[in-house]
Structure 1
Amino acid sequence: MSLRRQTVSLAGPTGADPLRCEEYGYGLGRPTGVLVLKYRSATVLEFGESREDFLHQLYWSPDGMLSARHGAQAQFVGPREAFWAHRAVTHEVRAADRQTVYRICLREVPAALGGLRAGAVSVAPEAARLIEAIARPGHDEAAALEARARIMAGVTPASPEPAGHPGSGTGFALAVVRELSHNPGESVRLDEWAERLHVSVKTLQRDFEREFGMPYSRVRTKLRLRTSRALLETRPVSEVARRVGYSSPSAFITAFVKEYGCTPGRYSAR
C-alpha cells in the first residue's frame, strides 16, 4: 500500500517549528493492511485538495477541530468524530496550529460506512485509543492488524440529529456539542436545545457540567474559538467571525483575546 499523492502545506509565522510526520504501516500491500500518518506542527496544517484513487482515508484529531470540504459541502468535526473520504473523492482538510492529526489510509471500507462518499463519522472511544496506540514505534504488526479490525468496527456514521438520544438522562450535552461542531455558528439557545431533546433546561445544564465541567455558553465559546483557528490563515477575520457565530468582528476579537491572549491577526493572513 502506498500513497499516490500527499499534499500537506503549512501556514504560519516565519521560523515556526517544521512539520513532523511519523509513518506507521502494517500489512502493507494487503487488503487488510493499514497506513497511519501522524502529523503535528506549530503552524496550521492544511491537507490540500487530495484525490487518492487506491486508498480510503480517515482524518482524526484527538485535540482539536478539523475543517473539511468535499465538493460544495464544508463542515467541521470534533475529537469524537473523524472525516471520512472514500477513495477517488476529492477533499480538503485543515487543522489549527499545535494540533495532532492522524490520517488513516485503508483499502477496505469500514462495514458501517458502505455508500458514504465523504463526511463526518463517529469514532468510538476504543477506536480512538487504538489509533493512538498503533501510531507509536515498536508496535507488533499482528497486534496492530487486530487493532485495525477493531478500529474499523468502531467507526460509524455520525447521527444527523442532535436528538438521537432517548430520554435517558445522559448524553444530551454530547449530542449538542456534536451538532455545534458541525456548525459552530449555530445560535440556538440552551432552552431551545432542551426542547429539541425533550428534556428540562436544568437536566441539560447538569449534563454540560458533568461532561465538560463548564456551562453551555462556555463550551460553545471555546468550540467557536478553537474552530476559528483552523480558518484564520486563509480567511479574513470578518468572514471567520461570521462563520463561527459572532455578530461582529469586534465581538469575535474581544473573545479571542480573552481566550488566547493575542488578536486573531496573529494567525490571519489577511
Structure 2
Amino acid sequence: MRNVALDGLDRLPRAVLPIGTDYPPGLLLDWHEHRRAQFLHGATGVMVVDTAEGTWTVPPRRAVLIPAATRHRVRMLGVSTLSLYVEPDAVPWWPGVCTVVDVPPLLRELLLAAVEFEPEYDLSGRDGQVVALLLHEIAALTPLPFHLGMPASPAFAALCRAYLAEPDVAVTNARWAREAALSERALTRRFREQTGESPAGWRSRARLLAALPLLRSGTVTEVAGRLGYASPAAFTAAFTRTFGSPPSRFRGR
C-alpha cells in the first residue's frame, strides 16, 4: 500500500499494516498519535520526531519505533517513508519510548516487499511469512544514540526547544541561567536531575544532531563552521565519539 491514509485501514483484521508514503520536502506532520505502534523508516532524507519527552533525529537508512498512542510530530526533510503500523498486542516487546534503530539490508528489502501488499494480504501465504519475519528482525535491532531528552520543567523545555530551532555555540550556561532566573549552579543541578546531563553537554549533543540534516547538502568543513566548531577535525572527533561513525558517512544522503 502506497500513499494511502491509515485512518481508512486501521481496523482491518491485520496485525501489521505496511504503508509507503512520499512526502514533499520540509513537510511538518503536526502533533498527532496512532492507535497502533509505528515502525517509521526513512528510505531517503532525515526525519526529526518530537514528543513531550524528547526529540529523535532519524538519519537516512534508519528508523524510529514509536509506541502506540504516543503524541508526536515529525519533520520530513526530503523523506520517502516505509512504515509498519502494528497492533500493540502483537508486539509486547515494543519499547515504551521512541527508539532509533539501524535498518539492515534484509529488513529494508522486506519493507520494500511489504508495502506492495494488498490491504487484506494473505496471512497464511508468502505475505504473512514476510510480515512475521519483519517483526522478528525488528525485535533484534539495537537502539542508536540519536536522541535528546527533554526536561520536565516548562521553563527548561522552552530553552531547549528554542536551542533546537537555532543551535548556537555562543549560548552559555550563564545566558540560560539568566533566562531561567536561576544561578548557574542551580540551573546545572536541576537540569541534570531532569535530563541526566549538564546543560552544556545537552547543547553540544543538540549541535551534533543538527549536523545530520546539514550533511545532506553541505561538506564536513561547511557544517563544522556553521555549527561553530574550531575545525573540521574537532567536529569530526566529537561526532564520531558521540555517534560511533564519522560525519562523512552521512554526507549526501
TM-score using structure 2 length: 0.50
Q: Which moved more, 1:132-141 or 1:86-95?
A: 132-141
Q: Give the deviation of 1:225 after TM superposition.
A: 1.3
Structure 1: gaps of 5 or more residues: 1-19, 161-177, 188-219, 230-240, 252-258, 261-270
Q: Which residue of 1 aligns with 2:205?
A: none
Which of 202, 214, 226 is equivalent to 1:225?
Answer: 214
Are positions 1:75 and 2:56 aligned together?
Answer: yes
Q: Give the deviation of 1:65 after TM superposition.
A: 1.7
How has the CA–CA distance of structure 1 residues 63 and 110 changed in structure 2, closer, same or farther, with 3 Å as cutoff?
farther
Q: Give the deviation of 1:100 after TM superposition.
A: 0.5
Superposition map of 1:101-120 within 5 A: 101-108=81-88, 113-120=93-100
Q: Across the two proteins, how many residue pairs are aligned to each other?
A: 166
How has the CA–CA distance of structure 1 residues 128 and 21 changed in structure 2, closer, same or farther, with 3 Å as cutoff?
same
Q: Which residue of 1 aligns with 2:227?
A: 246
Q: Which residue of 2 aligns with 1:45?
A: 27
Give percent identity, aligned residues only.
Answer: 16
- Aligned residues: CA RMSD: 4.4
Q: Which residue of 1 aligns with 2:72?
A: 91
TM-score using structure 1 length: 0.48
Aligned partner of residue 64 in structure 1, secondary structure: strand
Q: Give the deviation of 1:107 after TM superposition.
A: 0.4
- Offset from partner CA, 1:12-48 (integer Å, 9 cap, x none): xxxxxxxx82469999633x53222322134323222
Q: Is the 8 A contact 1:33 1:145 kept in 2?
A: no
Q: Is the 8 A contact 2:16 2:84 kept in 1?
A: yes
Q: Give the deviation of 1:73 after TM superposition.
A: 0.3
Q: Is the 8 A contact 1:121 1:156 kept in 2?
A: no
CA distance in 1, matches of 2:33, 2:210: 34
- Offset from partner CA, 1:127-162 (integer Å, 9 cap, x none): 2211111212669633222211111111147646xx
Relative to its length, the structure with more helix (as a share) is: 2
Q: Is the 8 A contact 2:47 2:57 kept in 1?
A: yes
Structure 2: gaps of 5 or more residues: 149-163, 170-208, 233-250
How has the CA–CA distance of structure 1 residues 224 and 21 changed in structure 2, closer, same or farther, with 3 Å as cutoff?
closer
CA distance in 2, matches of 1:138, 1:88: 25
